[in-house]
Every structure is written in structure tokens, then in C-alpha cells.
Amino acid sequence: ATPKSKHGALVNGDHGDDTAEKPLVLVTMGSDSDLPVLKAGLDILKEFGVPYSLDITSAHRTPKYMMRIADEAAGKGIKVIIAAAGGAAHLPGMLSSETPLPVIGVPVKATHLDGMDSLLSIVQMPRGVPTATVGINNSTNAALLAIRIVGAFVPSYQAKMRKYQLEMEEAVIIKGARLRI
């Protein structure tokens, strides 16, 4: 079972002993119903070996806890926050208003508006409160962007990103070669 941090957040790579790495990325979401959308991104973070913590912080249901998490993240060594939310998706923007860290919002397709509501809620931030926004349900790109940000300061993560890009390129070229006549 994945252990819990001091605030109840789940931490990957944390085996409850002193060897556990401190999380560099905080992945949070408005509801546990967003978790399936985040799975692809969490798999990427695991693949790259980037330690992350996982939590639920709702802008509407747990506003005080959300603000506390935003206040404390940088001091805990977190470098990037990924925040997923659907519908009136205020979570990424509200976190961004309170933390100096980069925040990447993942718009979740959660209502009859097919994620357009979430996308517009996250992308249309007022000047001064930047919030990076990936495509609807695209937690893969949120994780890759977070790794690129961390990789700007950690050469080993940047090297893994370069390898990932080269492998992706090779895979497409091989597929094309199979189709070409």
C-alpha cells in the first residue's frame, strides 16, 4: 500500500523508511473521480523516476486545505505542481495564485460540456497569475512538462527526456517505414 505523508498526501517511492526520496512534483486533483485521468501522467513520472506526492485538494470542497497545500509546497522542496480538475476547474488557478511554483493544469472531461468548461476555466487566467494548461485529459503532457521543468536543473532527468524524445522519433519512423511502399 502507498504510504501517507504528514498531511495525508500519498507519496510514491516512499517505502516508509529513510531511503524515501523527497517529492519534487505535487500531483493533486479536485476529486478522486479525476484519478483515472491522471494515471497516464503518474505512469510517466514513475517511468522517469521522478518522486511525486499525490493528494486531493478541492478548490470548492476543501478551500482552506487547498491554500495550505499551496502555501507549504515550495518549502517542502516541491518544484512543480500538477493540478487536475473538471467542470468549474478553479483548482490550478487558485493554487497558482498562492504559490511561487509553476502550476500545470489538467482540464478533466467531467461534465456534459466535455471538458471545454474545464479547459477554459484553467487557461483563461488573469494577467499576473500564469497557469500552464495542457489538453483535455492530457495528464501525459502535464507529467512530461513537469519533468522538463525539473530537468532544466537536474541533468539526469533532462538526459532521460532526450532519450524519451529520440525513442518516440524512432518509433514513428519505424511505423512509417512499415507503411511506405
Q: What does the binding site for ligand RP5 look like in residue numbers (CB under 6 A)?
A: 29-31, 33-34, 58, 85-87, 108, 110
Residues 121, 92: Cα–Cα separation, whole Å: 9
Q: For 104, phi and psi rounded to 5 degrees? A: -110, 120
Instruction: Return the number of the residue (110 or 119) whose C-beta is nearest ligand RP5.
Output: 110
β-pairing verdict for 52-56 and 10-11: antiparallel
User: Least Å distance between CB 124 and ligand RP5?
Assistant: 17
Considering beta carbons, is residue 105 or 151 the nearer one to ligand RP5?
A: 105
Q: How many residues does the chain have?
A: 181
Q: Measured from the CB atom, is 23 or 30 closer to ligand RP5?
A: 30
Give the burial string for 146-179 (b: 16+ CB within 10 Å, else e): bbebbbeeeeebeebbeeeeeeeeeeeeeeeeee
CB of 104 to ligand RP5, least distance (A): 15
Shortest distance, position 35 Cβ to ligand RP5, whole Å:
10
Closest distance between ligand RP5 and the C-beta of residue 74, in Å? 23
